[in-house]
Structure 1
Amino acid sequence: MPSARLSAAFFRRAISALPLLAFPLPSVAAQDAPVQKVYGRTPAESSPPAWPQPVRATRGAPNILLIMTDDVGFGSSSTFGGPVPTPTFDALAKAGLRYNQFNTTAICSPTRASLLTGRNPQAVGMGYVANWATGYDGYNSVIPKSAGTMAQILKENGYNTAMIGKGHVTPEWEMSRAGPFDRWPTGLGFEYFYGFLGADSSMAEPNLVENTNPVSPPADPDYHLERDLADHAMAWIDSQHAAAPDKPFLLYYATGTAHAPNMPPADWLAKFRGKFDAGWDVLRAGTVARQKKLGVIPAGTDDAPHPGTLPRWDSLTPDQKRLYARYMEAYAASLAYADAQIGRVIQKLRDNGELDNTLIIYIQGDNGASAEGSFDGKLFEQSALSGVREDPAYALAHIDEIGTKTAYNLMPGGWGWAMNAPFPWAKRYGSHFGGTRNGMVMAWPGHIKDAGGLRSQFHHVSDIMPTVLEAAGVKAPEILDGVPQQPITGISMAYSFQARDAPSRRTVQVAAMAQNLSIYKDGWVAATAPMATPWERTPPKPVPLDQRQWQLYDVRRDFSQAHNVASANPQKLEALKQLFWAEAALSNILPIHGSEGGQKGRPDPNEGRTMFSYNAPVSHIPESAAPALVGRSFAATARIGVPAEGARGVIIAHGGRFGGYSLFFDRGRIAFTYNLTPAHMTRIVGAVPVTAGAHAIGLDFAMDKDVPTGGANVTLTVDGKAVAQGRVERSFAQVVSHSEDFDVGMDLVSPVDPAAYDSAGSRFNGTLEKVEIIVK
């Protein structure tokens, strides 16, 4: 039987008889040669499996719990001599170190951007609050990719990262679900985010986001945002610990407190009744005395002079005293409650056995306490945004609402001045320590051994990031995610942990907030005198920049900036002024301008749109992506189907309880509410219910003149026939709502007209075919 295997000779004869093929054939020699190696191995060779390994943190790297409260002055907390009991802050101070020369930027977004990036705020585009960005490089609110955050760096080095609470570093035009999400917390290095993106939020009805998705409004009638934030922080700690107990984490926990609105739980508010009846002058004096006793300010410190335009407490009427004291009670109760919730988070670390390996940095305030409440305080923070002056008589009649969900209260500026003891000025004033000096505590068991110690080196919020990186054993990268990084100007504070009396390694710090300027150099501060105080009912005329008065302080001897020594040291002042301009150029601070300048041409998702069309119910469209109706006439048409039982619910709504507008059904009748503030509300209602079936509902908002604050005539129509008319005497001045969104077919978070409906029951019960809004 023939062999099944052909010989090589037979194979060659068979092939030679075939037609010439179009491809070459291997030679016998090639077939007999060893098999070619591929990637250094033959197919017969075995190779051990090799898995890609995750990056692991440095052995022994600590967890980082970074806490920042909001609008809390140096003299607010009991830890730094203030009148508000903060036992969690106190306990950390006893276990760790207090820093009494720690400085922020005088307002929210710049401090937060500087904290996260380790750079001066204008160097990362955040020279003012994100919601009032301007078109200059240092002020456009766009944190560049060349300024990587501590969260991005730690995540790349084996850390889990989470952020809970207030963001306020995302450009407004990027806040919709269309993104981009690069500058949302999850795009800035945080693997998990739960909180709010804007400047502030109601404690009872917050507008929240989880990662990049809106959160359903809370159903619990006793809900409180600070408790919710603590709950989410503890839940994240538990889940992270369960999944990877040996993996360190960064948790950035940013409270909404004590920014307006001050809405503490009722039982906490009750604890502070009558505590502030003596007034702000007595309170501040007592704070300064306690600060000296505690040693958090030098014993010889003079309190900064009383502002001439701020009324003395004794000059107020009994009604003013009663009203103003109630505002302060709400502020104090809010701060005390937030501190208690922070204590719950720290207890969770203790329960999980994580506390001993956690560096806790607790910064009490992102700037000084606010004096934005001016003379009388504000029952509604939105009054200033709407350009209306509150009537103190109205506030007095609603005094029992202060501290509750129905007020968005902001305390009088006199309390802000008192909370910033012993320094002059307040939030927004980047020129003086009342705006930029905040109490701060660090605790790290086994590494900070001078328990209860005080550190007086001069430091800045940009120094936190380098401190965290040094503690984690991480070097800041020159290139992050393929992008070369700009220099980190922050200076690690870790040297101060063991060296109580070490000289400050920060010798220079420039500051500019709007047009309030200062420069620190080796114990001296040159600062511009503010053009206007928070208490002037008629602000003075603007003074050109080159004609501003500069003040000089020797803060080596004058801790509180109580003594202006400019006239005795003209050469020192001139040298510091020149240094300011040099540092301002290096830090991207120029041009100096007001917060209202340079907004023309801001990116706008709706640029050129005059028609807005919605074919289905939709919620949580932020102000920047909603129809732009401030100072504009507009018309809205809704094609709907009314069910047999009659219509109820909302067709369109923008804003909520403290400002907005809503087109809705009131007992089956078409209705429109324009809520400038709860004290300035107009409701227009049709006479009869709309019948069952298909209808076209119309709204025409015709302004007298298309300018902000202008009045308007309003007409409601059903199938083209006018059914109600009314007048809105004053319209929005700047925004419809700074904290709530635009909805179609519902009004979520909080109701624009609480007397007519609630948010839970606001969904339109019929069919909604199309809603069109034409901006005229």
Structure 2
Amino acid sequence: MSHTASTGAYQNFEGRIGRTVAGSDAWWPPEAAAPKGAPNVIVIMADDLGYSDLGCYGSEIATPNLDELAAGALRFSNYHATPMCSPTRAALLTGVNSHLAGVGHVAHSDAGFPGYAMELADDVASAAEIFSDAGYFTAMVGKWHLTKDSHCSDAGPFDSWPVQRGFDRFYGFLDGFTNLHHPHRLIDGNSPVTVDTYPEGYYLTDDLTDRAVEMLQGAKASNPAKPFFLYFSHGSVHAPLHAKPADIEAQRGRYDAGWDDLREERFARMKAMGLVDESITLPPRNAEPGQEVAPWDSLSSDEQRLFARYMEVYAAMVTSVDESFGRLRSALERMGELDNTIIMFTSDNGASREGEAEGTTAYYVHLLGATDTTADLARIDDIGGPTTMPHYPRGWAACGNTPFRLYKINTHAGGHQVPMILAGPGVAESTDDGAAGTWRDQYVHVVDVLPTLLELTGVAAPSERNGKALKAMQGISFAPVLANPAASSARTEQYYEMLGHRGYYRDGWEVVSLHYPLTRFSDEEWELYDLTSDPTETRNLAGAHPDLVAELSQAWDQAAWANQVYPLDEGSGLKYLQRPPWNEVYERPVTLTPGTPTLERWRSLQLVMIRSFSVTARISINPSDEGIVMAHGDQGGGYSMWLDAAGVHLTYNSGRGLLETIDAPRPDGGEHAIVADFVAPGGNVWNVTLSVDGTKVGAADGWTCLFPMAPFEGIDVGLDRRSPVHWDLYQAHGAYPFTGTIHGVDVQPGEAPADSPNSLIEVLREMGAAFE
């Protein structure tokens, strides 16, 4: 605690927003109280959910609970997120544009620029900090993704974790996604949750819902007068596409007709429900190079069967999100709080094209772009279960974004125009004029959400945090739109940027660009659309209105400088590799002993990422000892070392269902050193040797280096926690704890090959500079 007697200012232990107690030198301040009768607030955010993926927005997917919410609420037809998840979350929670808040991209880089710090700046206040200091109980479950990856370890720093940014309770994961059957690392407050083996039938969405209900029930039972703010941030429907078997089975056969028919079905449904005007045109299939969708009829029968399965799993995930909301609403009813709770449901960006043209059962390694449809077909019956890490082809993402063009990351509408439902006190309370259950067509941006919630709850926005002046919120409350369907849009201008894609909206007009990596921004043509008559961006009017293109593109440039958007990502990939010099510590060797928690994912990855490395296990065994000596990774890719009656083994899991093993004779009882040497000669492969006590006992060549998100679980010693590297071992033995003695496992990183990305940083800098 700090205290300044002359001003009466104080800070609480959590470092939240400072307040001034006028005329008081009291060391401990009076408890903050929310405005009398202030409503509760729940913000629910799905991940990668497309505009048309809910029943109440035209989907064939059954979402009865959200449809019922929408029937007594307002649905927004013209609501916009940013084109990517972390930036949307930053804007949602701060009311400040994402780049200015410090999060211009996903939190997997730290290239050294303020707009891309990949954590919330210290001169913006989070919704949790604001509501907490106003006397609310603040809770969060699910995906955070606002802490840079290098700061997610057990050593912190913790200043950008949820609890340090104002949440009284947090249960979820810090990364951008996780395995829904076997989450790689859950956090409770500031502490990793110790889980060796998840129970049969575990499913993350159910767990998060249980925790959210428990948090709210506990808080209300303890202090009935204290309102709550809950941020429920789903891991669904982000890849890997995981769902419960019964939910998948319920979708069987629904998508056999393909994405062309489905898109037309959804568009017709949208027109029937009044979401889309009869005059609006459905754009043709996306055909831009690298974005294109093949006609469904042009696919082989095997491709159609495989691709339909992906969508069945995706639809099953959507139903689980709906069921989660139904359970949460039932809990609010039992608590007597439903009628006094503002509820917002939305998505963080448009549907994702990360599965690209063919989809994948191996999302963690597919991010490099490699595809293997034959391998995926061989695992078709396992898609959606714990042994695959699937993502659907972008043809389904195009359906999800109906009626708009392109996808997540793009600044065309498919990247950022998403569903939003708002209900509760102050939101169309009277149904006499048909307000509840109707649409609001005014332009609204995610940055406007927090100011609106503050107005509806009567909570004042602060001017400083920890004694530091705050950036002014750029969001504009759209509360007048809630009361009056004829009210003008409060927001008339907004910029967009993601990975070099750019867009600028003003008074119904929009300029937008499509950026291709390593092409000059000055050579890109701005497209121009009149969104009042052409919201689906089918008629490019740039040639007819060059002066307006110049005006709006200049406005984009001015907004970019004002919001820390520069430098633009030219596409060299440098920003993923360039790190501050102090990150060198994360590449230092480590010795792990039994009892050490799983070494966090990102720290573990630095030891092995496209480089040579060695693993030395120092053990003592009796003739009957067995079990996992060490494991790094999961069903999405990894390697592990174990001992059984047949010998000593080193297994490599490619992430695509390919398991390769080096088997060697079992050593006699006593002390031994087992060494696995992974040599990276170049070409993105490892040549591996296994030695016992200095004698080579086995070898294998050509194991593909795991990168960029695999291994997705960190390093374990003495067992293989959570999702296993070797599924058959897990089925037979669970986490398979080692019964001998492990004196230590040494992981020693080695040299990177000449063609490693990290070896090419200077080359990439020069390449990128040519296109800036």
Percent identity of equivalent pairs: 35
Alignment of 1:66-215 (within 5 A): 66-207=43-184, 208-215=186-193
Q: Which residue of 2 aligns with 1:467?
A: 452
Q: Which amino acid aligns with 1:515?
A: G
Q: Which amino acid aligns with 1:409?
A: P
Alpha-carbon deviation of 1:602? 3.5
1:552 corresponds, among 518, 528, 540, to 528
Q: Which residue of 2 aligns with 1:434?
A: 414
Q: Which residue of 2 aligns with 1:682?
A: 660
Kindly provide the CA deviation profile for residues 395-416 of structure 1, in whole angstroms up to 9, marking residues without a partner as x.
1222111121111110111010
Q: Find the aligned partners of 2:351 and 2:374 in 1 and give their Cα distance.
A: 25
Aligned 8 A contact 1:122 1:139 in 2: yes
Q: Find the aligned partners of 1:226 and 1:142 in 2 and give their Cα distance.
A: 25
Q: Which residue of 1 aligns with 2:748?
A: 774
Q: Which amino acid aligns with 1:700?
A: D
Q: Which residue of 2 aligns with 1:422?
A: 403
Kindly provide the CA deviation profile for residues 69-116 of structure 1, in whole angstroms up to 9, marking residues without a partner as x.
011111111111122221122111111100111101111111111111
Q: Which residue of 1 aligns with 2:470?
A: 485
2:439 counterpart of 1:454? yes
Q: Find the aligned partners of 1:606 and 1:530 in 2 and give their Cα distance.
A: 33
User: Secondary structure of the residue that 1:372 maps to in structure 2?
Assistant: coil
Alpha-carbon deviation of 1:601? 2.6
Aligned 8 A contact 2:388 2:635 in 1: no
Change (3 A) 1:644 1:306: closer
Q: Which residue of 2 aligns with 1:579?
A: 555
Q: Which residue of 1 aligns with 2:326?
A: 343
User: Secondary structure of the residue that 2:597 maps to in structure 1?
Assistant: strand
Q: Find the aligned partners of 2:494 and 2:508 in 1 and give their Cα distance.
A: 11
Aligned 8 A contact 1:630 1:735 in 2: no
2:316 counterpart of 1:333? yes
Q: Which residue of 1 aligns with 2:233?
A: 254
Q: Which amino acid aligns with 1:559?
A: P
User: Secondary structure of the residue that 2:376 maps to in structure 1?
Assistant: helix
Aligned 8 A contact 1:619 1:746 in 2: no
Alpha-carbon deviation of 1:187? 1.2
Kindly provide the CA deviation profile for residues 508-543 of structure 1, in whole angstroms up to 9, marking residues without a partner as x.
100000111000001100000343xxxxxxxxx742
Alignment of 1:392-411 (within 5 A): 392-411=373-392
Q: Find the aligned partners of 1:188 and 1:454 in 2 and give their Cα distance.
A: 34
Q: Which amino acid aligns with 2:472?
A: P
Q: Which amino acid aligns with 2:149?
A: E
Q: Which residue of 2 aligns with 1:602?
A: 580
Alpha-carbon deviation of 1:233? 0.8
Q: Which residue of 2 aligns with 1:44?
A: none
Q: Which amino acid aligns with 2:536?
A: S
Q: Which residue of 2 aligns with 1:366?
A: 348
Alpha-carbon deviation of 1:558? 1.0
Alpha-carbon deviation of 1:133? 4.4
- TM-score by length of structure 1 reads 0.88
Alignment of 1:746-757 (within 5 A): 746-757=719-730
User: Secondary structure of the residue that 1:234 maps to in structure 2?
Assistant: helix
Kindly provide the CA deviation profile for residues 640-679 of structure 1, in whole angstroms up to 9, marking residues without a partner as x.
1113422x22222221111112222243622112223133
2:508 corresponds, among 483, 503, 523, to 523
Alpha-carbon deviation of 1:314? 1.5
Q: Which residue of 2 aligns with 1:232?
A: 211
User: Secondary structure of the residue that 1:269 maps to in structure 2?
Assistant: helix
Q: Find the aligned partners of 2:180 and 2:587 in 1 and give their Cα distance.
A: 34
Aligned length: 710
Q: Find the aligned partners of 2:328 and 2:570 in 1 and give their Cα distance.
A: 39
2:304 counterpart of 1:321? yes
Alpha-carbon deviation of 1:594? 4.3
Q: Which structure has the larger Rg? A: 1
Q: Find the aligned partners of 1:393 and 1:181 in 2 and give their Cα distance.
A: 44
Q: Which residue of 2 aligns with 1:299?
A: 278
Q: Find the aligned partners of 1:215 and 1:654 in 2 and give their Cα distance.
A: 18
Aligned 8 A contact 1:605 1:624 in 2: no
Q: Which residue of 1 aligns with 2:538?
A: 562
Alpha-carbon deviation of 1:446? 5.9
Q: Which residue of 1 aligns with 2:684?
A: 710
Change (3 A) 1:135 1:369: same
1:382 corresponds, among 364, 369, 372, to 364
Kindly provide the CA deviation profile for residues 424-482 of structure 1, in whole angstroms up to 9, marking residues without a partner as x.
001111x2110000010000146522211211111111111111111221111111222
Q: Which residue of 2 aligns with 1:623?
A: 601
User: Secondary structure of the residue that 1:314 maps to in structure 2?
Assistant: helix
Change (3 A) 1:350 1:692: same
Q: Which amino acid aligns with 1:634?
A: F
Aligned 8 A contact 1:639 1:695 in 2: yes
Q: Find the aligned partners of 2:64 and 2:670 in 1 and give their Cα distance.
A: 62
Alignment of 1:587-736 (within 5 A): 587-594=563-570, 596-598=573-575, 599-602=577-580, 605-607=583-585, 609-626=587-604, 627-646=606-625, 648-667=626-645, 669-686=647-664, 688-705=665-682, 710-736=684-710
Q: Which amino acid aligns with 2:249?
A: A
Q: Find the aligned partners of 1:765 and 1:630 in 2 and give their Cα distance.
A: 30
Q: Find the aligned partners of 1:636 and 1:226 in 2 and give their Cα distance.
A: 36
Any unmatched runs of 5+ in structure 1?
1-48, 532-540
Kindly provide the CA deviation profile for residues 489-512 of structure 1, in whole angstroms up to 9, marking residues without a partner as x.
111121111011111110110000
User: Secondary structure of the residue that 2:654 maps to in structure 1?
Assistant: strand
Q: Find the aligned partners of 2:592 and 2:250 in 1 and give their Cα distance.
A: 49
Aligned 8 A contact 2:607 2:747 in 1: no
Q: Which amino acid aligns with 1:766?
A: G
1:352 corresponds, among 329, 335, 348, to 335
Comparing 221-230 and 132-141, the one that deviates more? 132-141
Q: Find the aligned partners of 1:395 and 1:608 in 2 and give their Cα distance.
A: 35
Alpha-carbon deviation of 1:690? 2.4
Q: Find the aligned partners of 2:391 and 2:492 in 1 and give their Cα distance.
A: 36
Comparing 126-135 and 67-76, the one that deviates more? 126-135
Change (3 A) 1:543 1:262: same
Change (3 A) 1:736 1:379: closer
User: Secondary structure of the residue that 1:341 maps to in structure 2?
Assistant: helix
Q: Which amino acid aligns with 1:390?
A: T
Q: Find the aligned partners of 1:562 and 1:320 in 2 and give their Cα distance.
A: 29
User: Secondary structure of the residue that 2:115 maps to in structure 1?
Assistant: helix
User: Secondary structure of the residue that 2:565 maps to in structure 1?
Assistant: coil
Q: Find the aligned partners of 2:497 and 2:244 in 1 and give their Cα distance.
A: 37
Aligned 8 A contact 1:173 1:603 in 2: no
Q: Find the aligned partners of 1:70 and 1:609 in 2 and give their Cα distance.
A: 32
Q: Which amino acid aligns with 1:519?
A: Y
Alpha-carbon deviation of 1:756? 3.1
User: Secondary structure of the residue that 1:751 maps to in structure 2?
Assistant: coil
RMSD: 1.9
Aligned 8 A contact 2:271 2:278 in 1: yes
Q: Which amino acid aligns with 2:721?
A: L
Alignment of 1:37-76 (within 5 A): 53-76=30-53
Kindly provide the CA deviation profile for residues 128-160 of structure 1, in whole angstroms up to 9, marking residues without a partner as x.
110244322111203111011010011011000
User: Secondary structure of the residue that 1:121 maps to in structure 2?
Assistant: coil
Any unmatched runs of 5+ in structure 2?
1-25, 430-434, 751-772
Alpha-carbon deviation of 1:743? 1.7
Q: Find the aligned partners of 2:65 and 2:466 in 1 and give their Cα distance.
A: 38
